Structure 1
């Protein structure tokens, strides 16, 4: 029997269930260093099953933004503007979401397999310019860093940034 790992966030209105498999995780929105930022950033999307009043209520995709310092030593969790995993949650519910994110980054084998697949796919890409090569190397370094994250390196700054 193949048992899947799952995590549940109990909110006032429903249970949000994350089943730990690659198809329920996406990484996108990669942003590299530039003149205005001193960090790398990307989003992780998680498919969550919703249960209300003991009935299936559908699924939703929730996101969290991850920032990695320029030296690749620290990871910061930032609340994205839309579809945030922290949206409309009280303090205890946000703590459960933090526990889920910590699990994903540190322990989830599905996440690590997905990152490994992304690394292998990037290594097969054809690049033609020096700029493309530089961007590819940066993405590879950031993804390789995600394979060895420890609890101590994660800094939770659950906040929504004002972009104005």
Structure 2
């Protein structure tokens, strides 16, 4: 039997279940340093199964924004404006979502596999000009940093007031 790792966020109305498979993790919208933003930033999307009243209620793609300092030492988890994993959750439910994000960034071997595949794909890309080389090198540095995240590296910038 092949057992899958999963994490459950119990909310007031439903259970949001993250099953740890590569197909349920997405990394996109990568932004590099510029004059207006002295940090790297990208989105991590998680496909969550929703169970309401003990029945399948559909899937939901939820996101979190990850911001990494210019020196690659600090990671900041920020609530995105849309499709946030923290949306419509009270303080305890947000703490469960934070626990899931910490697990993902620090302990999840599946997340590390996704990142490693992105690194390998990036190394195979054919970059042709100085700008593309610079951007690819920055993206590689950030992705390689994600392979070695520790709990103490992560700072959560999430509003914790009760909204649900």
Same fold (TM over 0.5): yes
Alpha-carbon RMSD across the aligned residues, in angstroms, is 0.5
- Quick one: distance in 1 between partners of 2:21 and 2:106? 15
Question: What is aligned with 1:6?
Answer: 6
Q: Equivalent residue of 2:16, what SS? A: strand
Q: Equivalent residue of 1:49, what SS? A: strand
- Quick one: distance in 2 between partners of 1:58 and 1:94? 21
Give structure 1 stretches of 5+ with no counterpart.
160-164
User: What is the Cα deviation at residue 125 of structure 1?
Assistant: 0.3
Question: What is aligned with 2:123?
Answer: 123
Question: What is aligned with 2:40?
Answer: 40
User: What is the Cα deviation at residue 38 of structure 1?
Assistant: 1.0
Question: What is aligned with 2:137?
Answer: 137
- Quick one: distance in 1 between partners of 2:3 and 2:150? 25
Query: What is the total number of aligned residue pairs between the two structures?
Result: 159
- Quick one: distance in 1 between partners of 2:49 and 2:75? 27
Give structure 2 stretches of 5+ with no counterpart.
160-164
| TM-score, with length taken from structure 1 | 0.96
Q: Equivalent residue of 2:158, what SS? A: strand
User: What is the Cα deviation at residue 3 of structure 1?
Assistant: 1.0
4+ residue runs over 4 A deviation? none
Question: What is aligned with 2:97?
Answer: 97
Question: What is aligned with 1:162?
Answer: none
